[in-house]
Amino acid sequence: MLGRRVIERWCLLAHPNTKFDVVHFVLLGSVMESEFVAWLRQRVPPHPLVPLGIGDDAAQIALSSGSCIVTSDMLMEGVDFRLRECEPRQIGRKALAVNLSDLAAMAAKPVAAIISVAVPSRMPITFLKLMYEGLLDLGSEFDVALAGGDTNSWKHPLAISVTAIGEPTGGGLVTRSGAQVGDAILVTGEFGGSILGRHLEFRPRVAEAIYLHRQYEIHAAMDVSDGLSLDLSRLANQSGCGAIVNSLCVPISDDAHRLAAEENFAMSALEHALRDGEDFELILAVSQDTAERILADGSLGVRITRIGEFVSDLGLWQQSESGDKQPLTPRGYEH
Amino acid sequence: MLGRRVIERWCLLAHPNTKFDVVHFVLLGSVMESEFVAWLRQRVPPHPLVPLGIGDDAAQIALSSGSCIVTSDMLMEGVDFRLRECEPRQIGRKALAVNLSDLAAMAAKPVAAIISVAVPSRMPITFLKLMYEGLLDLGSEFDVALAGGDTNSWKHPLAISVTAIGEPTGGGLVTRSGAQVGDAILVTGEFGGSILGRHLEFRPRVAEAIYLHRQYEIHAAMDVSDGLSLDLSRLANQSGCGAIVNSLCVPISDDAHRLAAEENFAMSALEHALRDGEDFELILAVSQDTAERILADGSLGVRITRIGEFVSDLGLWQQSESGDKQPLTPRGYEH
C-alpha cells in the first residue's frame, strides 16, 4: 500500500494586486499539521475583496484582462506511486491527471501544463521519456499544451510537480461553497479500492464537469482525492451546511469489493468506498429538480448517482436502513 | 560547493488550443542529456502558428482573453541549497526569486505564485514556517500573491517547486530571439562568486526590466542563471547571431575576486564572472544608440554595463587586449 499524502493541500482565490496580508485564504485541513495550517491562516488572512472569496481545488488569478485558474500537485515516489508497482507512463499520466481533476472540480477548461521534476541520477533516460509520453498522451487527449518545465537530477527519489493552467468556461467557476440545504448530493462514477490500479488510470472528469456546468445549474462541486466521506464533509463545511448520505446508494466499485475480500473484510466494501482516496470522481450539489434532470440525461458517458442531500445540521451524517440519522465520521487520506 | 543543476531547463511559447504535436518547442540545451532533449524536440515539434514562436525563460499561454506568462523552477536540497549553509527563510525566498527572475527576463509583470513542496518528515514545522516567511516576504515586496499549493511529506530531502504566473506589460514580451547584429550587449549588476551567498539573496530584476522595456526598445533579454558566457551564447544562438565580449568590460563582483583568492586563483575572478551560475542579472540586446541612452539614464538603481556586441559570426567570441577576436568557450552549470 502507498504511504499517505500529508501535510495538507491548500489553495485560495487570489486577486493579483492584493498583497499577501490581504489575500483570502482557505486551507483544506490536516489534522497532523494543524499548527502549520493555523499559522498560514494567520500569516495570510482573509480579505473581503477577493473574487469568489473562498478556497477551492484551484486558485483563480485575476489578470488585467480575464483570469486564469491554476492548480499544482506534486507526486512523490513511495508516496503517490511505487516504481516497482507501476509503469513510467502511468506516473506521467497521473501527474497531469490529478491536476486536470482539480480543474474539472471547478468546471474550468484546461489549457496548458508546466512540469518540474527531480529525477534520480541513476534513472535511465528511457524511463524519463516514457514518463513524459504518458503525460503527453493524456495532454493530447485533453488538448492541453505542455508549456515548459524544469528538469533536474539528484540522488534521491523521483518527485514530479505539475502545474495546470485553465480558464473559466462560460458560466464562470463552480466552487465548493455553494451547496444549499436541500440540495441533492450527486457523484460521478464509483468509489473505493483505487489503490488496486484505478488511481493510475482514472479519467479526469473534465468533459463531464464542463458539460454539466453548461447544461445545468451546479451549486457546488469538488473532486474526490482524499476519500468520499472526507471530501464531502469538506464541501459541506465550506458551504456552511451538513450532508447526509444514504449508504445504500453509494456506488461501490468492483475494486472496493475485491480489496475488501483480499483484506479478509477488515473493512467492508462500503467503508472502502467512503474512505479510500484517489477516486478522482466529482461530488456535485444541485437542486432536487436539477438532480432529476441530470439523472435522466442520457448523453453523459459516466454513471451519476444521488447519494444523499445537504442538510442544515452541520457535519456528516448517514441514513441507516431504518431511516435514522446517525453521525458518519469523515475518513480519508489525512488520518 | 553546491552540486550542479542538470538535466536541462526548457520552456516554450504555447498556444492553448494546439495539441502537443503542434507546439513550438525550444529546449535550452544540456550536453549531459542531449538524448533526452533530442527526443523531446522530436516528440513536441515546432509549429508555425505558435505566438512568438520560440522558447524562452517563461512560457506564454494564450487565453480566450489575453494571455499569461508562466514559469516553474524546482529547488532541491543538496543541489540548489544546503540546509546547513543557509537560513530556511533564504530557501523560500530563493524559490520564488528564481521564478521572478525568469519573468523579469521577459519583462513580464509577476502576479501570483503557486508552491509545491516535498518536506522531509522529520523537518520541524518551525523550519517550514520560516521557509514560507521568506517566500511571503519577497512576494509582498513584489506584490505577488501566494495563490495556493500542495505540501507533502516524505522521508527524503526537501524539494520546493514554485510556479510563477505573470502577464505581459504594455509593450508585449521580450524574448531571447530578437538580438540583431551590431546590437550592444548590456548587462545589469555584477557577475561571479554568487555561491558565496548572493545566490540566496539576489534581487530579481523585475522593476528594472519593466522600466527598461517601457522606456526603451529592447531587442532581446534573458536572465543569467547558468553562467554569463553560457547564457549569452544561448541568447545569441536563439537570435541567429554571434556575440563578442570585451573581457575588460565584464563587471566582476567582489565575490568573484574573493572566491578566486580563496581558491588560490585556480580560476581568475574574470573566469568566475564568465562561468559561475546564479547571478540572476539580465543580459539585454539593444541598438548602440539605445545603449548610450540607457547608460546615461540616471534613474536606474542598478549598474548597467556594455560588455560587447552581437556579431554576424555565429558563436561566442572575446576581444583580446590587442583587439583580436578569439573564440570564447561558453561555460556554466551544465558542464
- pLDDT at position B2 is 44
Which residues, 6+ apart, have CB-to-CB distance to B62 below 8 Å? B14, B15, B16, B51
As to burial, measured by CB atoms within 10 angstroms (0-12 exposed, 13-18 middle, 19+ buried), residue A122 is exposed
Which residues, 6+ apart, have CB-to-CB distance to A260 below 8 Å? A193, A266, A267, A268, A269, A271, A272
Name the more confident of A19 and A239.
Answer: A239
Mutation choice for A interface testing from B69, B98, B161 by most A CBs within 10 A: B161
Q: Kind and range of the H or E element at A17?
A: none
In chain B, what residues touch A169 (CB-CB under 8 Å)? none
- pLDDT at position B33 is 53
Mean pLDDT, all residues of chain B: 85
Contact B287, B184 (CB under 8 A): yes
Contact A185, A243 (CB under 8 A): yes
Nearest to A110 by CA among A65, A55, A164: A164
Name the more confident of B323 and A78.
Answer: A78
Please indicate whether, in this complex, the C-beta atoms of B65 and A66 are within 8 angstroms of each other: yes
In chain A, what residues touch B153 (CB-CB under 8 Å)? 6-7
Q: Considering CB atoms only, which of A61, A78, A133 is closest to B112?
A: A61
Contact B3, B79 (CB under 8 A): yes
pLDDT digits (tens, 9 = 90+) for B67-126: 899 999 999 999 899 999 899 999 999 999 999 999 999 999 999 999 999 999 889 889
- pLDDT at position A12 is 43
Please indicate whether, in this complex, the C-beta atoms of A16 and B79 are within 8 angstroms of each other: no
Which grid coordinates belong to A306?
Answer: 444521488
Q: B151 to chain A, minimum CA–CA distance in Å?
A: 6
Which grid coordinates belong to A294?
Answer: 441530470
Position A91 pLDDT exceeds 90: yes
- pLDDT at position B73 is 92
Mutation choice for B interface testing from A23, A81, A151 by most B CBs within 10 A: A151
Q: A21 to chain B, minimum CA–CA distance in Å?
A: 8
Q: A103 to chain B, minimum CA–CA distance in Å?
A: 14
Give φ, ψ of A59 to 5 degrees.
Answer: -105, 140
This model of the complex carries an ipTM of: 0.85
- The strands making up A220-223's β-sheet, listed across from edge to edge, are A220-223, A282-286, A184-188, A304-311, A242-246, A315-319, A325-327
Distance of CA B130 to the CA centre of its chain: 25
Mutation choice for A interface testing from B135, B156, B176, B223 by most A CBs within 10 A: B156
Sign of torsion over alpha carbons B82, B86, B87, B93: negative
State the Cα–Cα distance between residues A232 and A272, nearest whole angstrom: 15
Select from 3.90.650.10, 3.40.50.720, 2.60.40.10, 3.40.50.10310 the CATH code of A184-327.
3.90.650.10
Please indicate whether, in this complex, the C-beta atoms of B117 and A74 are within 8 angstroms of each other: yes
Q: B3 to chain A, minimum CA–CA distance in Å?
A: 9
Q: A32 to chain B, minimum CA–CA distance in Å?
A: 11
Distances, alpha carbon A304 to alpha carbons A52, A100, A188, A245, B278, in Å? 27, 20, 5, 15, 52
In chain A, what residues touch B9 (CB-CB under 8 Å)? 149-151
Q: How many residues does chain A have?
A: 335
Q: Considering CB atoms only, which of A6, A12, A129 is closest to B148?
A: A12
- pLDDT at position B30 is 41
In chain A, what residues touch B23 (CB-CB under 8 Å)? 145-146
pLDDT digits (tens, 9 = 90+) for B174-212: 999 999 999 999 999 999 999 999 999 999 999 999 999
Give φ, ψ of A282 to 5 degrees.
Answer: -100, 140
Which residues, 6+ apart, have CB-to-CB distance to A85 below 8 Å? none
Please indicate whether, in this complex, the C-beta atoms of A165 and B61 are within 8 angstroms of each other: yes
Q: What chain B residue is nearest to A18 in terms of C-alpha separation? A: B145
SS3 state of residue A70? strand
**Which residue's entry shows cell 542538470?**
B6
State the Cα–Cα distance between residues B245 and B223, nearest whole angstrom: 17
Q: A272 to chain B, minimum CA–CA distance in Å?
A: 23
Contact B222, B212 (CB under 8 A): no
Which grid coordinates belong to B244?
Answer: 563578442
Please indicate whether, in this complex, the C-beta atoms of A145 and B20 are within 8 angstroms of each other: yes
Contact B303, B174 (CB under 8 A): no
Read off the pLDDT of each residue in B40-69 and give the average, rounded to a whole number.
66
State the Cα–Cα distance between residues B191 and B252, nearest whole angstrom: 5
State the Cα–Cα distance between residues A57 and B149, nearest whole angstrom: 10
Please indicate whether, in this complex, the C-beta atoms of A58 and B148 are within 8 angstroms of each other: yes
DSSP code, position A252: B
Nearest to B255 by CA among B236, B279, B229, B237: B279
Q: What CATH code is assigned to B9-168?
A: 3.30.1330.10
Nearest to A239 by CA among A151, A319, A316, A169: A316
Mutation choice for A interface testing from B19, B32, B72, B122 by most A CBs within 10 A: B72
Mutation choice for A interface testing from B37, B152, B334 by most A CBs within 10 A: B152
The type of residue at B234 is: R
Q: Which of A187-191, B14-18, B71-75 has the lowest mean pLDDT?
A: B14-18
- pLDDT at position A149 is 79
Q: A285 to chain B, minimum CA–CA distance in Å?
A: 24
Position B16 pLDDT exceeds 60: no
Q: Considering CB atoms only, which of A20, A43, A68 is closest to B165?
A: A68
As to burial, measured by CB atoms within 10 angstroms (0-12 exposed, 13-18 middle, 19+ buried), residue A21 is exposed
State the Cα–Cα distance between residues B307 and B221, nearest whole angstrom: 14
Contact A311, A243 (CB under 8 A): yes
Nearest to B319 by CA among B330, B332, B328, B310: B328
State the Cα–Cα distance between residues B46 and B48, nearest whole angstrom: 7
- pLDDT at position B306 is 98
Please indicate whether, in this complex, the C-beta atoms of B15 and A66 are within 8 angstroms of each other: no
Please indicate whether, in this complex, the C-beta atoms of B132 and A21 are within 8 angstroms of each other: no
Please indicate whether, in this complex, the C-beta atoms of A154 and B78 are within 8 angstroms of each other: yes
Please indicate whether, in this complex, the C-beta atoms of B150 and A72 are within 8 angstroms of each other: yes
Distance of CA B268 to the CA centre of its chain: 23
pTM: 0.88
Name the residue ranges covered by the structural domains of chain A: 9-168, 184-327
**Which residue's entry shows cell 498560514?**
A40
State the Cα–Cα distance between residues A219 and A224, nearest whole angstrom: 17
